[in-house]
Amino acid sequence: MKTVKNRNFKDLPSFWWTNDQEWNPEKHAGFYIMNNKFGSTGGQANAQELGLFGCVVETHKSYSKRSEFGTFDVYYGCVDISKIKQTKKRKNKQYDKDVHEMIIDLDPKVKHDPANADCLLIKTDTGTRPLTTEEILEYLTILFGEGKKKNQFPAHTRQLEIIKGRREFLEQNLESDLILNIESIHTRFGKDKTNYLCIQPETEIIFDCSAYFATFQITSEFDPDRDQAVETRSRSKEEILDDIISARHNGKRVWVLMSMFNDEDSDRIELISLFKNTNAELIIDEVDYAAWSKIEIIKKVVENVIN
Amino acid sequence: MLSIENQIQSLFSPRVNPPILSVTSGTKIDKFVHGFNMTGLHVKYNISVRRDYKTQLTTEKMKLAGDPSMQHFIHKVPMFVDYDENDFALMGKTIPPSLMQDLDKTWNSLDYTSLESLLDLFFLPTSPMYLKDALNGVICDVINKYKNEQVGYVLNDYYKRERFGTWLQTPVESVDIYNRVCEEFLVDYFSRRGFGFLHVHSRALREDGFSGKADLNKYFKSNFDILDNPLKYPNGIVAMSPPWGFASRSMTESRLDVGLNLRNSVNSQDDDRIMSGGVTLDGKAKLLGLSINASFRKQTQDWSSQQTEHIRNLYNEQLKEDPKTPQIGPWLRGVNIYQRIAGSIPQLMSEQALGDELTDSEKAFRDMINVDLANKHIWGRTDILLKLHIAKGNKKVESLIDKIQKRVPGSKNTVPPTKQDKSDENKVRDFYIQILESLFGFLVRMKGFAAENNFVTVRDTLEAISLDPILNKSMIKDLGISAEEYIILLGDDENKGLPESTMNHLLNSMNAEAN
């Protein structure tokens, strides 16, 4: 079971009915399979940016709300568009609807659920019930062949550009005292999650200075096997250090959740200075709102992480 | 037991990469950059800076070109609305005097009679600016505009909107006044007009166990669900932005179609509230977010200056992303600006008109010289202005600045301008132009340096100058003031100073002409 949150499907399992290794929105249709439903990722911003427009636009009203906060068993599907029989012209390339039709053609016992566009019903001896996830996968296997299961969903091309840009710049400037990435990228440009995805592989500790107002967003992107958050609000330097050390003992990458709004007493600066010889990154999201007036703190933070 | 330092040493690998500071923002980042440059860190350390700018227009262009990954992206459409007494006459009303002067005062004084008139301009079906008609008109125009683009819009998927969401932006800053205006007036008003009204009540938030931004979004969406009742509210939902602006950033909702700004100033953070693609209240596909800025048509000034500024800002943004962006170029095709002159229907500006705004350098210079004489931020900085090298003795300069300051509304020594004789008026005017010409004239000195370093804004150029002691010294020698002091005169979001957007535009125009 994985928590489904708009921006959290990096490590969700996906089934690939294609010989290609990389997601290509020109060639592939995408959809989700979740809790007996098979349909779009409608309403999920990242899915849109990923080009998952096999997905319905008109999602049923409560879906996005539930998917935002609930815990579901979700798979993503990726299939060659050429394998999908297009039954009629659909807006926004709703391939999932065409796949629904293919399943209905395959098995006359299956029909649409009039109450839920993402749900298919099957008639059984005891009545009508939704298709289970397993049954959906069986039908898809008959239609498209054995799917390859992957645990990683690929980053969007625009996310990849940013990741590549940061890495190349780092490699060209390894002799610098500090690398300053300044990114002003409007919100619908596929930049979601880039602060998470762009962390360099060598980095072992991250000081996120925009954390108090975005703790949920930041931690929801974490890979629980890899990352561990360390809260700092209302905590002493010793408590924070204990958590950091414990996280490292468990082999985790440490995210120290800090703030630019609350008073950061000298303890925090001292704490940062302890990590000056480590591979550390600092993140400040929405800088003009969170940090511009606290520039003296940023100065101290930078000085202590450099020296 | 190992010391903390030793424990850290044993648990973390030795540093192989320099520390990395990543600062990100969806909109402006200039304040941070300026602040960071002022810390002196650049002088003390070898800091490598990577800048990456991507604008809304980039995405607009990609969508128009049929890029499949932009399928769900919606267009951003600003509309600048002037209203006057004729608009009210068409509704059988007389315009209240307060709506001809100061929207901020009207809201904060809880003048419900005037507010009802103001809102009627957008929510009364007989009004010439009825929002439903404006929204449908804009949708139709944009689809027509893009009929030959690869994106392939079908009018019926988007048109004939019946129920829509509005993000109402007001100047109300106090939570008490916010709660009062909502409870005493707006809930009832919008109910009468067929709209559900959503306000973010701080007490209700606490009662609901609100504990952070994510909760705020949840609260907002669930309240939207509650009000989404076609029988009770056949025209849709109006949500009013709470006074705590930064938190409202998370209240983005696909069911919001129109951003209606009814205050004197513009808050760029509110622009995004309507920009989520997805399902609309009436189940249509969402094509665009319509952002309306409205004000009374003043005698000599209308929204045309704001339009011009907006277009120039777009151009400057594009330049930041790609310094080779042509002044008139394909990027303009993704720009949808509506102008609404009082008493007429809103018109989509043509590409030709947009281009004309950009290429008229003389107009840009005139716009710069038209800096408001009542600008407290500029004329209050006598400490900086007095250092400027202009052909006046310092004593006279001091006395003339004093005269200008007395004309600034709200300053403690304000005297009515009528007390000055004609000759004083002219002296002030001449001096004022000399100050501005001296400041703007320095753009000519900056342009070469800007072009050489691919800087497209005056601020970026000045920041780079401020980091170079030789250049900064030379600037003080030529102009009399340092780069830091010039930046202070540019102002910021809260204290608007020199007309930065127009200055950027002129700087780039000069470079384009030089090339």
* Interface touch B12/A289, C-beta < 8 Å: no
Q: Cα–Cα distances in Å, from A6 out to A9, A186, B376?
A: 8, 18, 45
**Using 50, 70 and 90 to split pLDDT, how confident is the model at A63?**
very low
pLDDT of residue A117: 75
Q: Which of A185, A243, A301 to mutate against chain B (most B CBs within 10 Å)?
A: A185
* Interface touch B154/A184, C-beta < 8 Å: no
Tell me what the pLDDT averaged over chain B comes to: 83
Instruction: Reply yes or no on whether the pLDDT at B8 is more than 70.
Output: yes
* Interface touch A182/B23, C-beta < 8 Å: yes
Report the range of poorest mean pLDDT among A69-83, A203-217, B21-35: A69-83
Q: Per-residue DSSP letters for A207-265?
A: EETT-TTTHHHHHHT--TTTEEEEE-TT--HHHHHHHHHHHHHTTPEEEEE--SSS---
Task: Report the residue of chain A nearest B223, measured CA to CA.
Answer: A65
* Interface touch A65/B221, C-beta < 8 Å: yes
pLDDT of residue A219: 76
* Mean predicted confidence (pLDDT) in A46-68: 35
Amino acid at A71: T
Which residue, among B383, B427, B344, has the nearest Cα to B83 in the 3D structure?
A: B344
Task: Report the residue of chain B nearest A166, measured CA to CA.
Answer: B50
Chain A hits for B51, CB-CB cut-off 8 Å, are: 182-184
* Interface touch A285/B25, C-beta < 8 Å: yes
pLDDT of residue A211: 58
Report the range of poorest mean pLDDT among A69-73, B72-76, B184-188, B214-218: A69-73
Q: Which of B1, B20, B70, B322 to mutate against chain A (most A CBs within 10 Å)?
A: B20
Q: Are residues B375 and B435 in contact, defined by beta-carbon separation less than 8 angstroms? A: no
CB pairs under 8 A between A and B: 288
Instruction: Reply yes or no on whether the pLDDT at A47 is more than 60.
Output: no
Task: Report the residue of chain A nearest B281, measured CA to CA.
Answer: A61
* Mean predicted confidence (pLDDT) in A184-194: 70
Q: Is A36 left (phi over 0), alpha (psi -120 to 50) or beta?
A: left
pLDDT of residue B347: 92
Task: Report the residue of chain B nearest A173, measured CA to CA.
Answer: B48
Q: Which helix (H) or strand (E) holds B60?
A: helix B56-64
In the stretch 252-291 of chain A, residues with CB closer than 8 A to chain B read 274-275, 277-289, 291
Q: Which of B2, B9, B25 to mutate against chain A (most A CBs within 10 Å)?
A: B25
For chain A, what percent of residues have pLDDT higher than 70? 66
Q: Are residues A159 and A194 in contact, defined by beta-carbon separation less than 8 angstroms? A: yes
* Interface touch B71/A195, C-beta < 8 Å: no
Instruction: Reply yes or no on whether the pLDDT at B266 is more than 90.
Output: no
Helix (H, G, I), strand (E, B) or coil at A75: strand
Q: Cα–Cα distances in Å, from B131 out to A19, A121, B164, B479?
A: 50, 42, 9, 50
In the stretch 67-126 of chain A, residues with CB closer than 8 A to chain B read 68-69, 91-93
Helix (H, G, I), strand (E, B) or coil at B218: helix
Crossing angle for the helix pair B422-452 and B500-514, nearest 10 degrees?
A: 50
Q: Name residues whose C-beta falls within 8 Å of residue B280's C-beta, 6 or more positions apart in sequence.
A: B161, B163, B164, B165, B254, B255, B257, B286
Q: Cα–Cα distances in Å, from B250 out to B201, B213, B219, B276?
A: 15, 7, 11, 11
More reliable by pLDDT, B51 or B193:
B193
Tell me the nearest-neighbour CA distance from A307 into chain B, angstroms. Answer: 10
**Using 50, 70 and 90 to split pLDDT, how confident is the model at A152?**
low
| Residue A142 at interface with chain B, using a CB cutoff of 8 Å | no
Tell me what the pLDDT averaged over chain A comes to: 75
* Mean predicted confidence (pLDDT) in A166-173: 95
Which residue, among A287, A235, A228, A281, has the nearest Cα to A261 in the 3D structure?
A: A287
Tell me the nearest-neighbour CA distance from A85 into chain B, angstroms. Answer: 19
pLDDT of residue B195: 97
* Interface touch A69/B218, C-beta < 8 Å: yes
pLDDT of residue A25: 66
More reliable by pLDDT, B191 or B74:
B191
| Residue B10 at interface with chain A, using a CB cutoff of 8 Å | no
Instruction: Reply yes or no on whether the pLDDT at B33 is more than 70.
Output: yes
pLDDT of residue A51: 39
What domains are defined for chain A? 2-150 (no CATH), 199-306 (3.40.50)
For chain A, what percent of residues have pLDDT higher than 90? 24
**Using 50, 70 and 90 to split pLDDT, how confident is the model at A15?**
confident
Instruction: Reply yes or no on whether the pLDDT at A242 is more than 90.
Output: yes
- What own/partner pairs with CB < 8 Å and gap ≥ 24 does B198-204 have? B198/B223, B198/B224, B198/B227, B198/B237, B198/B238, B198/B239, B198/B240, B199/B239, B199/B240, B199/B242, B200/B239, B200/B240, B200/B242, B200/B248, B200/B251, B202/B175, B202/B242, B203/B179
* Interface touch A181/B21, C-beta < 8 Å: yes
Chain B hits for A174, CB-CB cut-off 8 Å, are: 17-18
Tell me the nearest-neighbour CA distance from B287 into chain A, angstroms. Answer: 12
Instruction: Reply yes or no on whether the pLDDT at A156 is more than 80.
Output: no
Cα B340 to the chain's mean position, in Å?
18
For chain B, what percent of residues have pLDDT higher than 90? 30
pLDDT of residue A164: 87
Q: Which of A84-93, A112-121, A175-184 has the highest mean pLDDT?
A: A175-184
**Using 50, 70 and 90 to split pLDDT, how confident is the model at A59?**
very low
pLDDT of residue A264: 55
pLDDT of residue B206: 67
| Residue B18 at interface with chain A, using a CB cutoff of 8 Å | yes
Tell me the nearest-neighbour CA distance from A292 into chain B, angstroms. Answer: 5
pLDDT in tens, B342-376: 888 899 999 888 888 888 777 777 777 777 666 77
For chain B, what percent of residues have pLDDT higher than 70? 83
